[in-house]
Amino acid sequence: MSQFLQPTILLLREGTDTSQGRAQIVSNINAVQAVADVVKSTLGPRGMDKMIQTGPKVTISNDGATILNLLEVVHPAARVLVDIAKSQDDEVGDGTTSTTLLAAELLKEAKPFIEEGIHPQIVIQGYRKALELALEKLEGFSINISKDSIESKRDTLIKCAQTALNSKLLANTKQFFSELVVSAVEKLDPNILDRDLIGIKNVTGGNITDSFLVDGVAFKKTFSYAGFEQQPKRFENPKICLLNLELELKSEKENAEIRIEKPEEYQSIVDAEWALIYEKLEIIVKAGAQIVLSKLPIGDLATQYFADRNIFCAGRVAQEDLLRVQKATGGQVQTTVNGLNPETFGTCGLFEEVQVGAERYNLFKNCPQSRTATIVLRGGAEQFIQEAERSLNDAIMIVRRCFKANKIVAGGGAIELEISRFLRHYARSVTGKTQYIVNSFAKALEVIPRTIAENAGLNSIEIMNKLRQKHAQGGEEGRWYGVDINGASGVCDTHQSFVWEPTLVKRNALCSATEAACAILSIDETVKNPKSDQDTKMKPKGQPGRPPMGMRR
C-alpha cells in the first residue's frame, strides 16, 4: 500500500463520494437492475399492481411511469430509468414498463462484456448499430392500416386500446372501455387530437361499467349560494354565456378609499356600487343568456338575480372545464360584459344537472361543434378510480397515436422476437466484437416475452423455445407468434388474436431504452457531493468496506 509513503492529496471536500472506472459501470448496472426488478412483475396481461404509500397517500398502480415516479429513486444512474419511463409516458403514453425492462436487460447483457474488459464505447457502438437495424425492421414488419375503411379502422383502434388495457385493473371490462375510449378520441379534431379536450371525471360509487361518455362536457356542480336551487336545471338548446368575471357585490378596486364629506353622499356611494353589479347582470340578461358560467365566483346576489329570471349559473368553474365548454359549445370566454352580444354565446343540444352517485353533475350534451368528450368514471374506491383513470389515459394516448400513425404491430412479445431473430441472423454476418454485441441486443429483446410468460405463471423456458422455433421457420407464418396467456400451448399468433399495438410505441421504447443503456454505459465516474445529497444522514452507520476518502481501491 502506497499511502505510507506518499501523503494523501485531498482534492475534493471530505465526504465526497467518488467512484470510477469499470467498477462504477458495473455498480450502476446493478443499481438499474434493482429498479427494473420492482416494475418487472407489472408487465403483461397477468401483471400485478404495486401499492405505494407516500405519506398519507396510497397509490395502487400498474403503470410503470407512475410506480417509478413514486419510488423516489435517488441513485443517479437508476434515475435515468425513471426519466426514460417518464419520456415514454409523455411521448406515447403506454409501454413504460417494457421500456424500463428493456433498458435494464440491455445493461445486464452488457455487464459480462464490461467485466471482461471490452471497452464500453464498443458496446455502445454495437448497440447503436443493432438499434438502427431493429428500427428498420420494425418499420418493415409493421402493418399499415391507413387504407382500411372507417369501420375496420375503428375496429383496429379498439383492438389497440384493448391491448393497452389488458394488463390493467380494467382488463375484464376492456371491451366496454376500449369502445368508450375510441368514441372519445373520435370526437376530437382529427388534425390536432388535443388530449386535454378529453376530460376524465371521477365519481366514487357505482359499478365500473356505470361509467359513461358524454359527447360534450361534464363537470361537478360548483359551490353555490342560496337561490341556486330555484334556478332551472334543464335547457334545450340554451344560450351559454362564458365569462371570466366576478359577479359579486364588492369593491371595484382593491385598496381604493373614498372620503365622504357629507352624510347625504353616503347613500349615493352605496347605490353606485349596487348599480355597478346590477348593470352587469342586466346586460347579461338582456343579451339573452340562459346559462352563465364563470371562472370567477358568482355571488349570492347574482345567483338570486339569475334565479328570478330563470337563468342557470355556475361560478368558480375550473379553467380546463371552461375551456372544454368553450370548445364544445363554440362560445367565447368574455372578460367583460361590455359589448356582450349573442354571437359570443355558445350552445348545445341539451343541458342538464344530474345526480351521479353522491355528486351532482352539469352535463352539456349534443354540442354542435363537439370537439370534446368527457368520460365519467365510476368505481368502488378512490384508488380504484384513480388507477382506472391512469389506465384509460394510456389507452387514450395509444388510440390517439394510432389514429395518427396508422401503423401497427402485433404485441405479446411477437415483434420483439421477430426483431431478435433477425438480429441474430444478421450478427453472424459481422466480423469482430460487434457480433457478440448485436447478439446480446437480440437476446435482451427476449426479455419482453419471457417476462410476460413468467408473470402469467407459465413455464417461460418452454414457451421461449416454442416461440423461437415458430419464428425461426420464418416468413409470414411464424412472424406474429407471441405469448398466449389463456390457451393451453402458451403460444399463439397474436396478430390473429388481436393483440395489436401501434408501431410508434415499440419504436419509441426501443430508442429510449437503447439510449438509456448507452448513457449509463458511458458513465465512468460519479462524483457525489455530500452537501447536495440530502440523504447523507440517512446512510446506515459504519458501512463495511467503504473506502476512506482519497484512497483508491
Which residues are known catalytic residues? 63, 96-97, 394
Q: Closest approach of Cβ 410 to other proteins, in Å?
A: 22
- Whether the CB-CB separation of 144 and 407 falls below 8 Å is answered with yes
Give the whole-angstrom CA distance, residue 298 versus residue 221.
13
Q: How far apart are CA 456 and CA 453, in angstroms?
A: 5
C-alpha span between 80 and 72 (Å, rounded): 12
Quote the least distance from Cβ 440 to other proteins, whole Å: 20
Residue-level length of the chain: 553
3-state secondary structure 237-253: CCEEEEECCCECCCCCC
The b/e string for 438-473 (b: 16+ C-beta within 10 A; e otherwise) is: bbbbbbbbbbbbbbbbbbbebebeebbebbbebbee
In 81-190, DSSP assigns E strands to: 143-144
List helix spans (H) across 316-459. Answer: 319-329, 382-405, 414-427, 434-445, 447-455
In the three-class reduction of DSSP (H, G, I as helix; E, B as strand; rest coil), residue 472 is classed as helix
CB of 4 to other proteins, least distance (A): 23
Q: Check if the beta carbon of residue 143 is closer than 8 Å to that of residue 408.
A: yes
Q: What angle do CA 316, 212, 392 make, to 5 degrees?
A: 85
Give me the residues paired with residue 214 across strands: 374
Residue 538: CB partners within 8 Å, gap ≥ 6?
Answer: none
Minimum distance from residue 208 beta carbon to other proteins (Å): 6
How near is the Cβ of 442 to other proteins at its closest, in Å?
27
For the bound state, the minimum distance from the C-beta of residue 526 to other proteins, rounded and expressed in Å, comes to 11
Q: Give the three-state DSSP class for 150.
A: helix
